A = this chain, B = another copy of it.
Amino acid sequence: MPDYNVGILGATGAVGQKFIRLLQDHPWFTIKALGASQRSAGKPYKDAANWIENSVMPDSVSGLTVRDCKSADFADVDFVFSGLDSSVATEIEADFANAGIPVISNAKNYRTDPTVPLLIPEVNPDHIELIHQQKFTSDGSGWIVTNPNCVVVPLVTTLKPLQDAFGIESVILTSMQAISGAGYPGVPSLDIMGNVIPLIGGEEPKIHEEPLKLLGTLKGDKIEHANFPVQATATRVPVINGHMLSVTVGLKQRADAKEAERVMREWKSPIANLNLPTAPPRPIQIHDDERYPQPRLHADSENGMQTAVGRMRNANVLDITYVAMAHNTVRGAAGGAILNAELLVKKGFIK
């Protein structure tokens, strides 16, 4: 059984707390170090963090002294998860990589770097090879891997089988996103209770771009991006966890909803046989009940790692239309990063 000591950067934030909760009983990874801003550094974690998870703070972390996010203070870990805010992630993550400490990051900062894998293990595990292009250390010991935006994860997970079978020509989607995606304190209750906010700042460009890298092809030492337009409208709704997407897709090779559903059902995850602890047995679940999926009922399915699909039907415009939903802070953030780490262990990138 692999056995690694890990650090968490941004440990007091919403994503950091989710890392702690998900790693609580992890069979391979043990939380050794927690890093946060200077304001928190030096305090016991239980005093530094305003714990917002709906479970008790694990005893294993409550007494840990929070560290400054400096690589020199993390010599005792094998790698770090980063839940850092994008305002500081660029420099801190580079510091760790430069020091030979691998960074598995949920931050957006390096997602578009052509040498940094933007990784969903079930979708593009081969992109992991980009790591060899990174120059943080001469011996390759320090590197960065990122996971995508939380809307992009269920979107691309469902597009992948379609792309393989028919090719994607265009995508239009409207997202209805949960409040947990905005972190804490995040969205004021006066803004969102009984309401819909039709804008999530900075979200739509990521939805337009990240799928093209994720569905791109590794050619030699770089990714040749996929090439199709994505049009997204990102809205906020009064839901705790689980981003819902209403997706309409144009296909290169015409196909109807029945065929699309069949390829999704028959699709095989390329990591299905690796026995990664966090990998969901069924990365895609297709619901037959037209009222499903629903975020409150299904966001936690398969420990929050499953993408749920429903209402697959022929579209009057473009080809097919469906809804997709996944847990935004598990599958779309901390859980996705942990699965990335597991793949990186299995593939020998983490020693």
Contacts and interface: CB of A to CB of B under 8 A. Distances in A.
Nearest to A292: B198
Q: How large is the interface on A (under 10, 10 to 19, 20 to 34, 35 or more residues)?
A: 35 or more
Closest 6 CB pairs of A and B: A185-B188, A229-B316, A174-B174, A195-B296, A174-B246, A189-B189
Given A176-B235, A179-B190, A244 B317 contact: no
Contacts of A188: 184-189
Contacts of A311: 198-199, 233
A317 B196 contact: no
A307 to B, nearest CB: 14
Given A193-B189, A193-B240, A290-B199, A54 B231 contact: no
A331 interface: no
A194 interface: yes
Interface in A186-209: 186-199, 208
B179 A231 contact: no
Q: How many copies of this kind of chain does the complex include?
A: 4
Contact of A54 (B172, B248, B296): B296
A271 interface: no
A170 B199 CA distance: 24
A301 interface: yes
A196 B246 CA distance: 11
A293 B235 CA distance: 11
B185 A291 contact: no
A233 B190 contact: no
